[in-house]
Structure 1
Amino acid sequence: MSIRIHKPGPLATVQDLGRTGYGKYGIIVAGAMDRSAHRIANWLVGNEDCTAAIEITLSGFAAEFSQDHWIAVTGGHMTPLIDGRDVPMWRPVYVRKGSTLVLKRPVSGCRAYLAVSGGLDVPEVMGSRSTYLRAGIGGFEGRALGAGDELPIGPARQAAPAANLGGDSFHAVSWSVPWSVLPAYRPSPEIRVIRGREWEDFTLRSREAFLGSSYKVTPQSDRMGYRLSGLSLKLESPREYLSGGVTLGTVQIPADGQPIVLMADRQTLGGYPKIAQVISADLPVMAQASPGGHITFREVTLEEAESLYMREERKLKRLELMIRLKLKEGYYA
């Protein structure tokens, strides 16, 4: 069983939830940019949330299925089609052998996730199947997917009944993930942050500008980091910083004063001053910000950030339980 890539679009890679425990050796975590969408896609097809899936950036993706499969498409809305018919997102979909899934222009967000029951059976590297592009490891041959690639699919964790397709190419179940549970994707999102290690090193005007103005997501943004354009931020006085640990969502300010929000393929250490940290609850929204779009930042306290994280995790855990119960009870209609 396999998926054959016809068109990868600008960037399609195999990702799971990342490669942890190797930062001290300079090995980055990588993994899905929008972890919530990745986890939900896997739950919908009966996989563990850490199972490898395809992360698709922007439009122009097309892939053919060699066997009948249960799939799910989540994340940014990219008008998924099979044989010219709209494919519902955020729910299990049974596809016929030989069917081709096409993702067209984004309606919202910029990254979609395609999960298949059984997951992508590519080799593990240091405990993860995630692609680390700059090092050329993990995923499919350590690289972005290309036309003609055949991705093997592993055995399904939980056997699901075949749907009665009749003459159709696919069958979507009647239920889906409630909209109230989904990340609040928006064209111009407000991203909540806590103060970074060097917050006080910036001028008062720069701190006010960071929280009170809009920043444009530039085309130079990628999986390593979002490069933003807006009011320039300045230190009270020039100084050198020792490199220190950075993580997903760290906001660094290089010499040109334009913020960089570090993302999934971030480095392990950074020497630029860190003005803020995106809270965990807003990382999925940040991951779906499109080049050309705008974002604003709002400060919250550490206590608020922790509370919001726990609320989101409880919400996702309830969703996982609901999905597992539906699949266990055979709700494939």
Structure 2
Amino acid sequence: MSVEIVSAGPMLTVQDAGRIGLRHMGVSDAGPVDAAAMALANALCGNASGMAALEFAGPAGSFTTSRPVRFAVAGGDCDIRIDDRIVQAGESHRLKPGELLRIGLAREVVWAYLAFSGGIATAPVLGSRATHLRSGLGGVDGRCLRGGDILPLGADQPDVPCLRPASPLQGASLPRGQGPIRVVLGPQQDYFDAGTLARLTGEEFLVTPQRDRMAMVLGDACLPAARGHDIVSDGTVPGSIQVPGSGQPLVLLVESQTTGGYPKIATVISADLPRLAQLPVGSRIRFAAVSRDEGERIGIARARALRDALAALVAKPEGILRSDYLLSCDLVGGIVFPEEVVWAEAVMRKGRKA
């Protein structure tokens, strides 16, 4: 029960929910850059949201399986083919032994996710299967996957239907929000004068090619620190905006170090960090400052919306009209109270007799 990597793109890794709770030991979380996208791919396959799946930037590659499985791609639209048959991202499909699955470049995003029913079952390291490339932990030998790798799969229920969202998705992704990227100022905003703080929220920044799973560097706006660019190293989190001596801010992502010696002018709120990380090179962004309480409120609302969206997935047709698919459909045109329809028909019949 396995998936074989026939060919692999340049940034194909195993990821799960990450190594939570080890930052005090110097171990950062890893896990998906866009957790909601991975959760959607997993849910479409009937998996729990944090089960191990494949993250890719660029083309994913090609795959075969030793058993019938369901799979789904989420995060961005891309060319997906089972042998020569084209299928859609954002819903699950069946892959049989002997068929070749090929997945191309995700469009208009950086990171996308491929999940298989049962989940990837590589050996956990420090409680997680997530690959941390910088430290060589997890996944397969802590590295990007390559052709010839064979990934074990967890237990699966073959008769479970394939799923799709109840409403069409845009770009094979759940909504990520719009507008400026929201940040909470600090914890070292006092290293920057009023003019620089105003520049943080008043100017546009450019997404540069200097990016990976650890961080992304922003250009076109310089943020000099009036009190200098060196501090006694203290804790960092994904979303921390560090400003080194160049004045070019860098936003930490899921493989970031757990401490750092550059002042942090602000922190991107957790609800907006995936949206920032998914912007292609050359995109322009603005920041907007919010309070810590507002950031928490937005995060709670986003988590609730994700939970509701995953709970609303429905069975998709697969050639044979199964009962679980029929029960997911609105076959009577929006009728909510059948007894009212029966009453209305009775009145109409009585009127015709009169």
Larger radius of gyration between Structure 1 and Structure 2: 2
Provide TM-score, normalisation by structure 1. 0.88
Give the fraction of aligned pairs with identical amino acids, expressed as a percent: 36
Q: 1:290 to 1:7 in 2, by over 3 A?
A: farther
- Structure 1, 16-25 or 73-82: larger mean CA deviation: 73-82
Q: Does 1:301 align with 2:291?
A: yes
- Range that drifts further, 92-101 or 11-20: 92-101
Q: Determine whether 1:183 maps to 2:181.
A: no
Distance 1:177 1:151 in 2: 33
SS across alignment from 1:318: helix
Aligned residue number for residue 136 of structure 1: 136
**1:56-67 aligned within 5 A:** 56-59=56-59, 61-67=61-67
Separation of aligned partners in 2, 1:176 and 1:102 = 26
Instruction: Return 69-78 or 98-107, whichever deviates more.
Output: 98-107
- Superposition deviation, residue 135 in structure 1: 1.8
Q: Which whole-Å deviations, capped at 9, do the CAs of 1:76-130 have from their partners, x for residues lacking one?
A: 2233232343322222211222222222233221111111111111001111000
Within the candidate set 263, 268, 274, 1:284 is matched to 274
Deviations 1:238-276 (A, max 9, x none): 364111111111111011000110001000101111111
How far the C-alpha of 1:310 sits from its partner, in A, is 1.3
1:168 maps to none
Aligned to 1:29: 29
- Name the SS for the 1:219 alignment partner: strand
Which amino acid in 1 is paired with 2:233? S
- Structure 1 distance, partners of 2:155, 2:284, is 42
* Equivalent in the alignment of 2:188: 198
- For residue 256 of structure 2, the aligned residue among 266, 275, 295 is 266
Q: Secondary structure at the match of 1:113?
A: strand
1:150-189 Cα shifts (integer Å, max 9, x gaps): 1111112xx24177xxxxxxxx656556538813378xx7
Distance change (3 Å), C-alpha of 1:107 and 1:218: same
Q: Out of 310, 313, 335, which is 1:320 matched to?
A: 310
| Residues 80, 296 of structure 1: alpha-carbon distance in 2 compared, 3 angstrom cutoff | farther
Distance 2:164 2:20 in 1: 37
- Checking the alignment, whether the CA contact within 8 Å between 2:163 and 2:315 is kept in structure 1 is no
Q: How many Å apart are 1:62 and its aligned residue?
A: 1.9
Aligned residue for 1:94? Answer: 94
Report the AA paired with residue 316 of structure 1.
L
Give the CA deviation at 1:36.
0.5
**CA positional deviation for 1:220:** 1.9
Task: Rate the CA distance shift 1:174–1:247 in 2: closer, same or farther, 3 A.
Answer: closer
Structure 1 letter corresponding to 2:116: V
Q: Structure 1 stretches of 5 or more lacking a match?
A: 164-171
Amino acid corresponding to residue 274 of structure 1 in structure 2:
K
Are the equivalent residues in 2 in contact too, given 1:80–1:88 (CA < 8 A)? yes
Aligned to 2:336: none
The one-letter code of the counterpart of 1:38 is M
Q: Give CA deviations for 1:286-312 in whole Å, capped at 9, x if unaligned.
A: 221223333221222223212211111
Number of paired residues? 319
Q: Which runs of 5+ in 2 are unaligned?
A: 317-322, 329-354
Contact between 2:78 and 2:107, CA under 8 Å: does it hold in 1?
yes
Structure 2 length-normalised TM: 0.83
Q: Distance in 2 between matches of 1:161 and 1:2?
A: 18
| Change beyond 3 A, Cα 1:238–1:110 | closer
Q: RMSD of aligned C-alpha atoms?
A: 2.4
Contact 1:45 1:116 in 2 (8 A): yes
Change (3 A) 1:220 1:66: same
Secondary structure in 2 aligned to 1:5? strand
SS in 2 for 1:77: coil
